[in-house]
Amino acid sequence: MSTATDPNPKFQEYAHPERLVSTEWLAEHLDDPQVVVVESDEDVLLYETGHIPGAVKIDWHTDLNDPVTRDYVDGEGFAALLGGRGIGRDATVVIYGDKSNWWAAYALWVFTLFGHPDVRLLDGGRAKWIAEDRPITTDTLERSPVDYPVVERDDRGVRAFRDDVLGHFGSPLVDVRSPLEYSGERTTAPEYPEESALRAGHIPSAQNVPWAKAAADDGTFRSRTELESIYEAGAGLSADDDVIAYCRIGERSSHTWFVLTHLLGYPRVRNYDGSWTEWGSSVRVPIVKGEQPGDVPASLARV
């Protein structure tokens, strides 16, 4: 039942090469009935301007978020979403998107909360596919709905909440936002709208490793050697660490979560999706401003 992995030599260096496919591989598997292609973008209309033939759209905001509570959809909601898009539990799902797969990685992370077994990213995402003049269509293919089982969302493995972060001091925190957000000069990414965090800065002891460092100019992931130099030589992380990554709303840190988990093979990485919009608005949580990670308040230090 399982779909063959992409034998691309670059991927074989990664811890979990089965989590990536190349544009070449996808082009050869577009007619594979086992493979479902999903586009997930920042811009909610980009799919409608043209997408990979046969791809279905899943939007991070209107599909994956609960419309009322600040949370993801529940097991029933996810089953209805995937079943309605014609995606079975045994499907090989290949997700791609704009902005170096920033939102695609977010969607993949949410799929992981529901334990979807075979979900992969298209290395290089939408931009690389288009740059290579591969086929794009505006025709929407309606896949027949299928039964997707109701699987309870499991937040324990890869998701961290605010209290988890408060209990995490002493273990590595990675802030993947831009340097100006980290230092506290602003609360949003450059060129992004203000999203209502009331304070600026970062979580004490967090290291700043902007997410985009993991992406090459063409949007593909950097090689394993380059990634090790960024996260291990550069930020002092190792596979033994219990790591929590965060950003502004958890989307950019999903990209870093993917890199640490699937490309470098760290077994204990969580994404704090509440991220700065929650931390920066919470009462009495510690915050550090400036370019240095800063110290954890003695009352919260665990070590």
Catalogue the active-site residues: 247
Give one DSSP letter per residue of 245-286, joined into a string.
EE-SSSSHHHHHHHIIIIIS--S-EEEESSHHHHHTTSTT--
- Contacting range for other proteins; rule: CB under 8 A; set: 13-21, 55-63, 200-208, 215-223: 55-63
Give the nearest distance from C-beta 163 to other proteins in angstroms. 25
Among 76, 132, 147, 192, binds other proteins (CB under 8 A): 192
Alpha carbon separation from 67 to 63, 73, 104, 282 (Å, rounded):
9, 8, 20, 22
Among 43, 76, 226, 232, binds other proteins (CB under 8 A): 43
Residues 259-298 that bind other proteins (CB under 8 A): none
Alpha-carbon distance of 109 to 36, in angstroms, equals 17
Nearer to other proteins, 61 or 156 (CB): 61
Q: Which helix (H) or strand (E) holds 243?
A: strand 243-246
Nearer to other proteins, 64 or 173 (CB): 64
Residue 45 binds other proteins (CB under 8 A):
yes
DSSP letter assigned to residue 207:
E
Asked whether 181 and 248 are in contact (CB, 8 A), the reply is yes
Query: What x/- string results for residues 60 through 99 when contact with other proteins is judged by CB under 8 A?
Result: -xx-----------------------------------x-
Task: Give the phi and the psi of residue 248 in degrees, each rounded to 5.
Answer: -105, -50
Here the tokens at position 132 are 């290579």
Nearer to other proteins, 98 or 278 (CB): 98
Residue 194 binds other proteins (CB under 8 A):
yes
Here the tokens at position 279 are 């931390």
Among 49, 69, 225, 299, binds other proteins (CB under 8 A): 49
Which residues of the shown chain bind other proteins in the complex (CB under 8 A)? 42-46, 48-49, 59, 61-62, 98, 191-195
